[in-house]
Amino acid sequence: MRVTAEEIADGLRRLGLDKTSTVIVHSSLSSFGYVDGGAEAVCQALTSVCGTLLLPGGSWDLTGIPAPPGIARPNNAYEPAACWAEFDKKLSQATSFRMDLPVDRWLGVIPETFRRTRSPLRTAHPLFSYQAIGPDAERLLAAQRLDWPLGPIEALDGDVLLIGVDHTSNTTIHLAEQLLGMSRFYRYAKGPDNTWMELPNISGESHRFDAIEPALRSVTKEVHIGRSRVRRIPKDAVLAATTRLVLDNPAALLCTDNPECRCAAALNQRLAFV
């Protein structure tokens, strides 16, 4: 299976996307099979078809650090460093956020290629930066604060685009949880000049998020491009479905069989709110 930028663009148009569209993109390059031109071809297709594109731009792998010793945050599912010497060592090994840091590899190769080749605007959140281009880019990115990392998704008036990934990559589900006051974790990053920062409202675990799929099937548009299953879902429908599922059952979209998983801490947070 071999696909070109033009075939990817055709597929996006079959989803009804055009220059009036605003989408948050979660993506897997390998999902297509072989793409002529690789991730750059996918970026080209996205920018040639869509209006405003929002992509993750996080740099956790370089900027993230353990919690400082002794800090007490209930239901936070994050081990503090054993001692200050260990914490200081991790802090010295980490990198302060800069606009030219690469995007984390676990977000897929497309966001990093987008950053390098499209010169998007980018936010300065030390762990979970976002990047965007298009007419609404500036407004979306302005909605991110250090204490509200998912602001750009909240501000987005449009759709979630899942390119060869499932709902475990769908960060809008986390936004719905957070708007309910749930799955709000604290994480830590290296700040400027060897300082450390505590950052609130970091998302929880998502490995069970694909259980939302039946609730969204009726509003999902879907095409296949090469081997990739590409889906377009209205953002507001994701928020509504998540809210309904979680209010019906606090354990919805979480695993309940592993006390070590961040899901257990998220469940405790949810139970405190319902």
Distance of CA 180 to the CA centre of its chain: 18
Our CB check for Zn ion shows the closer of 87 and 209 to be 209
Stretch 203-242: interaction string toward Zn ion, x if CB under 5 A:
--x-------------------------------------
Exactly one of 182, 263, 266, 267 binds Zn ion (CB under 5 A); that residue is 263
Our CB check for Zn ion shows the closer of 57 and 204 to be 204
255 part of the interface to Zn ion, by CB under 5 A: yes
Question: Which residues, 131 to 190, sit near Zn ion by CB under 5 A?
Answer: none
Q: Quickly tell me which residue has 């800069």 as its tokens.
A: 98
Indicate left, alpha or beta for 55 from its phi (over 0: left) and psi (-120 to 50: alpha): beta
Exactly one of 12, 49, 175, 261 binds Zn ion (CB under 5 A); that residue is 261
The rounded distance, in Å, linking the Cα atoms of 263 and 133 is 33
Our CB check for Zn ion shows the closer of 167 and 190 to be 167
The CB-of-208 to Zn ion minimum distance in angstroms stands at: 6
Our CB check for Zn ion shows the closer of 136 and 205 to be 205
The interface region with Zn ion, picked from 115-123, 144-152, 224-232, 261-269 by CB under 5 A, is: 261-269
The interface region with Zn ion, picked from 6-14, 88-96, 164-172, 257-265 by CB under 5 A, is: 257-265
Closest CA to 133 of 32, 58, 44, 31: 44
Our CB check for Zn ion shows the closer of 110 and 245 to be 245
The CB-of-212 to Zn ion minimum distance in angstroms stands at: 15
Strand 2-3, strand 34-35: pairing? parallel
The CB-of-157 to Zn ion minimum distance in angstroms stands at: 31
Report the length, in residues, of the chain. 274
The interface region with Zn ion, picked from 19-27, 101-109, 146-154, 199-207 by CB under 5 A, is: 199-207
Beta strands, E only, the chain: 2-3, 22-27, 34-35, 52-56, 64-65, 121-122, 130-133, 159-163, 185-190, 196-202, 221-225, 228-234
77 part of the interface to Zn ion, by CB under 5 A: no
Q: Extract the tokens encoding 203.
A: 């998302």
Closest CA to 134 of 46, 257, 35: 46
Report which DSSP code applies to 164: S
Q: H or E stretch including 209?
A: none
Our CB check for Zn ion shows the closer of 49 and 77 to be 77
* Radius of gyration (C-alpha) of the chain in whole angstroms: 19
Question: Site residues (CB under 5 A) for Zn ion?
Answer: 205, 255, 261, 263
